[in-house]
Structure 1
Amino acid sequence: MLILSEFDIQFRLPAPTAIVAVLSVHPSLESRVRAGNKLAVEHFTTSIADAPAFTDGPKVNVSCTDFIDSFGNRCARFFAPKGHLRLSGSSVVETDAKPDPNDVRAEQASVQNLPADVLQFLLPSRYCQVDQFGGIAQDLFGSTAPGWARAVAIRDWVHARVAFNYNAARPTKTSMDVFTERVGVCRDFQHLAITLSRCMNIPARYATGYVGDIRRPFSGPGDFSAWYQVFLGGKWINIDARHNYPRIGRVLMATGRDAADVAITTSFGAAYLAHFYVESNEVDPQGNKVPLPEALEIPQPIPHELKTPTQTNGSEASPTQTQSATL
């Protein structure tokens, strides 16, 4: 199966700004990349007020440098001029035409037997307050069988008790906020599930990438998406507290402790989102999009003005970040 993923993200920069972007397919999938996977960084000489999104006006390519971060993700860093900045790219990745596996035999290792590099995914992180959930997790899942059964119980509990709502998103929302409010976007589902998993000594890490409507009815405009991975049976296994059913055609971009580690862009200065487009589709060998099954009702796109700050800052899964520090 071939999955075409593409993005076009544009910002208005009030001053020259250093930026780090995490927009490439994950290095573990490089052998499956059939086309693309190149980030284009362009500066437009016309102002955002004079040029609409997808402008074809005068532009200058901005050079960038790739590097691998401490979590094994491919990143790009560059220094962008003041004005209108466009980040775009596409990739065609060959994936298995099978749904996410249910690894019912995956066993949970004791902490003393975990690989050293996995231990960090049991600890508290920016959005996952493991130190505040010990008693809660034990009360909810202490009686469940260790391993896959316990991981699924946590996933299903979060899915059943948290409502999805774009308007409830905010970039500072933690797992305790999600537990208290019981509403959020996909990253919030995953943060709560990750936290509860870690409390039960199941290593869990945040994952972001493309989860398009592949061989299923259209569900709305495209976006980057979040899921998480649990370390069971000696390997990382995809699991999803928002879509708690097997999906087809996931394309991984990055993993980390939580969303703070895998923001699609981190700008070290102000950067105002001007345009955001992401889409992921199955294509045939000739590059034609494969038609989706018909749905009884097609959801209407969310009006731009109704999207939450987290969503309009890039993605419900991996928002952009603005920092005052320098590279």
Structure 2
Amino acid sequence: MSTMSRTVLALGLALGASAAKNSIVAPTGAETLTVALLGDYGWTGWQPLPLDFCNIATPKLQAAGVEITRAMQNDCDAGDCQAISNATIEETRTARYIEKVCLQKNCSAFISVGDNFYDSGVDFTSEGIQRFYEGWADMYVGEAFDGNPWYQALGNHDVVAGKAGDNSSVYSTDYVISCHKDTNKQVDFLRKSFAESDATWKILQIHHGYISSSSNYTELQPLIDIVRENNGVVVNGHDHCMAHYQYQGMDFVLTGGAGYAEAGDCNYGVPLGPYAKWLGADAMQAANGFVTLDISYESLNFEYYARDMKLKGADYYPVKKDMKPSYNFTVTKHAAKGNH
């Protein structure tokens, strides 16, 4: 058996004689295992609430003491309502683009960094089930996707259902409040998992970005410290673009361009500091696309695929050869070994 036919994806990416439960194994005889990294895509199937309800009825209902749920408030977000048409088009086209690239690269799995269902997640109702199929199950189909596992993360748009409450933030839900009351449990879980793992590579899959060109979520510091101690890599979304950041000796992979791309999230392609190594955006537009990760014992090779974005005769993010990566980088320093 070749070395890489025994490489598995679990909590980390490990070299071992057998695969852990729910992990994947590289194709027999392959020198590398390739996985796709994508996020912030789930627009298709979402129907914003009517503007009359959002702008006229909602204030009157609130004045009368009627509670407007978090999900309803989020579905009235003016920016997202305006973006839905283009976002649906871009998600569909990018899904087909991902399939083409993954057929070329033989992707064995898909790793999501969250925001799988805009604008306010899905629930176990007829409408929610319909959106689940439209936005994901019937969207990512085809030879490259069929039969391959997905490893999902939750984003803020996936968990906003809940009561209105008093906090002005639409994301202040019972679920989120409960999680923030016990963040040590999450930190302890990651510390234990990384410390006990003998994985050759250790990767933290998360939604929000600790390093960003728009919003740095510094409350993630305890998790980032653990990744740094273990020579790991961070993969995240939330910002609707693609980027590579290096900060304090760590690599941060942003792959949030699978749905509605926003140039401002990557600062219109202008690096804010030396930590921004590549930004998938220009002065007018951010790129739709995703990142592939080629895993071998020797290295992790990240390739950023930006789609040539033609629409109605215009090419508003031109890429001459979009079946080749627009950017790539390689990690060769192995993760720290477990202490058990």
Identify the TM-score tier after normalising by the shorter chain: under 0.3
TM-score (norm 1): 0.27
Please identify which structure carries the higher strand content.
1
Q: Give the structure with the higher percent helix.
A: 2
- Relative contact order: is structure 1 or structure 2 higher (C-alpha 8 Å, sep ≥ 6)? 1
Give the alignment's TM-score, normalised by structure 2.
Answer: 0.26
